[in-house]
Amino acid sequence: MQPLSVTLGDRSYPIHIGVGLLDDAQRYAPYVASRSVAVVTNKIVASLYLERVQRALEQAGARVVPVLIEDGERAKAWGTLDRVIDALLAARCGRDSLILALGGGVVGDLAGFAAAVFQRGIGFIQVPTTLLAQVDSSVGGKTAINHVRGKNMVGAFHQPLAVIADVATLDTLPDRELRAGIAEVIKHGFVLDPQFVDWLEANIGKLLARDRTALSHAVRRSCELKAQVVAADERETGLRAILNFGHTFGHAIEAGLGYGEWLHGEAVAAGMVMAAELSVRTGTLRREDADRVAALIAHAGLPVRGPKLPIEQYLELMQVDKKVSGGRLRFILLEGLGRATLRGDLDPRLVRESIAAAVQ
Ligand code: NAD
Ligand code: GLY
């Protein structure tokens, strides 16, 4: 299958999507021949896929330096970053070395940030192995670690040289993680593509059953949509914010419960229902369309209601959001299915009501 492209001038890069790409030495060769490649991954993913990736990289002429980090959101931290940098220096990696991120969004965000700052920036390749990473986090160059006061509060825009998404890796993904990835797929439909929403409504069962043709289409369409947005607004000065639909509420859910209690995609799912409620209350979305938002999320086996935290706690946690401007919260609202807008002029009463309407 032809690769997609993220068009960013001399920083443009391909997104390869297919089955069996992990072992394809030719796919890596243009980037890695005669170079040191630090493969950043975690123990779970390493046990499943590191050997195959290492073999293919070596066939392509690379010297491979495996760098293992802890599993889970807590790995997106200064301490892990320091250990990755230390491993690179100990292995005599330099400015011509590459980082290859093999894993989900945690590995990708952390390894990408390490690539952004190591010796003022080196190249990196994303090899995403979760659905969420294949449809969202590996594309677009957002890299970050968390701060105790907030998620993704330290980071950089640093685009990869290539994304290589092998949908066969999704075979081993736990069901809950698969569903969390489906939340971000659905998000792309809601904000950008009404036909994709129709397709998702008809094919959600196939995605949950891991039908490879359906998964490949979902990954490809998501990446196409995201690539268009990133090409138009790489640094999120405007349009790109729509990719955060549901995330203002979702981040509050994640932070309020403690990171890891709900998966990111689960929190975004309930957050999208709240954002759709807010859109109805603000008058931009018809009730029947908000019902379709909630129904699709429910069919995906994702939560349509947020945890029962006090409304004031939601509001306080939502203040730690990168979309806050001049101290005011801003929200992504739907103006119909497949069309979204960023709004900062909302009546706080409507925000409260929308949360109340969608908590357990
Ligand atoms: P994750 O990276 O924690 O992976 C989920 C779990 O699946 C982990 O336990 C991981 O070890 C395991 N795993 C990975 N691949 C596997 C496979 N093929 N088979 C079996 N197990 C596998 O979580 P995630 O959902 O991929 O990513 C979440 C992170 O992504 C969050 O930190 C979020 O902030 C970030 N994110 C970033 C962006 C961005 O644009 N940079 C966008 C969305 C989310
Ligand atoms: N995940 C949202 C973005 O990349 O902008």
Decide: 129 in ligand 1 pocket, CB within 6 A.
Answer: yes
Examine the domain organization and report whether 23 and 115 are in the same domain. yes
CA dihedral 64→67→73→79, nearest 10 degrees, is -140
Distance CA 181, CA 48 (A): 19
Q: What CATH number does residue 56 fall under?
A: 3.40.50.1970
Show the domain range for 353. Answer: 175-357
Q: Taking residues 193-198, what's their average pLDDT?
A: 98
| Helical axes 348-357 vs 264-282, angle rounded to 10° | 130
Distance CA 118, CA 2 (A): 32
Residues labelled catalytic: 120, 142, 184, 226, 236, 240, 244, 247, 251, 264
Which residue's alpha carbon is nearest to atom 4 within ligand 2? 140
Q: Taking residues 206-215, what's their average pLDDT?
A: 97
Examine the domain organization and report whether 204 and 328 are in the same domain. yes
Which residue's alpha carbon is nearest to atom 2 within ligand 2? 243
* 5-21 per-position pLDDT tens digit: 999 999 999 999 999 99
Q: Taking residues 97-112, what's their average pLDDT?
A: 98
Examine the domain organization and report whether 64 and 121 are in the same domain. yes
* 238-294 per-position pLDDT tens digit: 999 999 999 999 999 998 998 778 999 999 999 999 999 999 999 999 999 999 999
Give residue 150's pLDDT band: very low, low, confident or very high (50, 70, 90): confident
Phi, psi of 88 (to 5 degrees): -65, -45
CB 264 within 8 A of CB 136: no
Share the mean pLDDT of the chain: 96
Which of 113, 141, 171 terminates a domain? The answer is: 171
Ligand closest in space to the Cα of 152: 1
Instruction: Write the DSSP string, 239-268.
Output: GGGGGGTTHHHHHHHHHHH-TTSS-HHHHH
Examine the domain organization and report whether 238 and 341 are in the same domain. yes
Examine the domain organization and report whether 206 and 345 are in the same domain. yes
Which residues lie closer than 8 Å to 90 by C-beta, 6 or more apart? none
Decide: 243 in ligand 2 pocket, CB within 6 A.
Answer: yes
The CA-atom distances, in angstroms, between 100 and each of 67, 127, 169, 352 are 10, 7, 16, 43
Decide: 227 in ligand 2 pocket, CB within 6 A.
Answer: no
CB 8 within 8 A of CB 160: no
Examine the domain organization and report whether 146 and 225 are in the same domain. no
Examine the domain organization and report whether 163 and 186 are in the same domain. no
What confidence score (pLDDT) does residue 260 get? 77
What confidence score (pLDDT) does residue 360 get? 87
Which residues lie closer than 8 Å to 239 by C-beta, 6 or more apart? 229, 232, 233
Decide: 67 in ligand 2 pocket, CB within 6 A.
Answer: no
Which of 171, 192, 225 terminates a domain? The answer is: 171
Examine the domain organization and report whether 287 and 153 are in the same domain. no
> Around 314, how many Cα atoms within 13 Å sit in the side-chain half-sphere?
24
Phi, psi of 93 (to 5 degrees): -75, 150
What confidence score (pLDDT) does residue 1 get? 76
CB 354 within 8 A of CB 304: no
Decide: 142 in ligand 2 pocket, CB within 6 A.
Answer: yes
Mutate which of 138, 147, 167, 177 to test ligand 1's pocket (most atoms within 8 Å of Cβ)?
177
From the alpha carbon of 44, which atom of ligand 1 is closest? Answer: 11
Which of 150, 171, 192 terminates a domain? The answer is: 171
Examine the domain organization and report whether 91 and 215 are in the same domain. no
248: left (phi over 0), alpha (psi -120 to 50) or beta: alpha
Distance (angstroms) between ligand 2 centre and the Cα of 62 equals: 31
User: SS3 of 335, please?
Assistant: coil
Q: Is the pLDDT of residue 321 over 90?
A: no
Distance (angstroms) between ligand 2 centre and the Cα of 51 equals: 30
Q: How many domains are there within the chain? A: 2
Which residue's alpha carbon is nearest to atom 3 within ligand 2? 243
Ligand closest in space to the Cα of 6: 2
Examine the domain organization and report whether 215 and 124 are in the same domain. no
Decide: 166 in ligand 2 pocket, CB within 6 A.
Answer: no
What confidence score (pLDDT) does residue 68 get? 98
CB 127 within 8 A of CB 166: yes
Q: What CATH number does residue 180 fall under?
A: 1.20.1090.10
Examine the domain organization and report whether 40 and 112 are in the same domain. yes
Examine the domain organization and report whether 156 and 109 are in the same domain. yes
User: Rg of the Cα trace of the chain?
Assistant: 20
